[in-house]
Amino acid sequence: MKAIGWAGCMGLILASCSNHDPLAVKQFTVRDTDPGWSEDLMVRGEIQKRLYGAVEQEDREKRKGQYYSVRWRANPVGGLVQIRFQYRQAATASKVLAVTQTVPADEGTGVVEFSVAGDSYRKGGRVLAWRMTLSQGGNLLGEEKSFLWE
């Protein structure tokens, strides 16, 4: 009887730790093209990942910007999934810019990347507010947004 109670508690703990959110966003900003400035190995690795393949300093400068990794979860038999990234930049005032990626939901989960980098970042400035939405078949499945998004 104790084994059943212990197994039930373990199952409950594991279930409560899993992430069932349909949408999760991680953001990262590359402000400097020298990954050695950070003592944090995770930050240094992320900068190196974003700068990979940029040999010349001009190429490295084009990689400065903000990057958004979006992990999504949807019904694998529900058809295509649409992830929409809406954002406002410092130099664009209240103008909302948007980028959409449509991907098949064959496996039920996936990761897509969005970036505001290069000329867009240099001319428009940093992203002040953003919103990500996940939809499938016209139905909104999830939304994540920054604190400043209305």
**Domain range list for the chain:** 26-145
Round to whole Å and give the CA distance between 86 and 97: 6
Q: pTM of the entire structure? A: 0.74
Asked if residues 51 and 60 have their Cβ atoms less than 8 Å apart, the reply is yes
Asked if residues 89 and 128 have their Cβ atoms less than 8 Å apart, the reply is yes
| Per-residue model confidence as pLDDT tens for the chain (150 residues) | 555 555 544 444 444 445 578 899 887 766 565 555 556 555 556 666 656 555 666 666 666 788 898 999 998 887 899 999 999 999 988 899 999 999 998 888 999 999 888 888 889 989 999 999 999 988 999 999 999 998
Which stretch of DSSP H or E encloses residue 52?
Answer: none
46 alpha-carbon distance from chain centroid: 13
CATH class of 26-145: mainly beta
- Dihedral angle sign, alpha carbons of residues 109, 71, 104, 133: positive
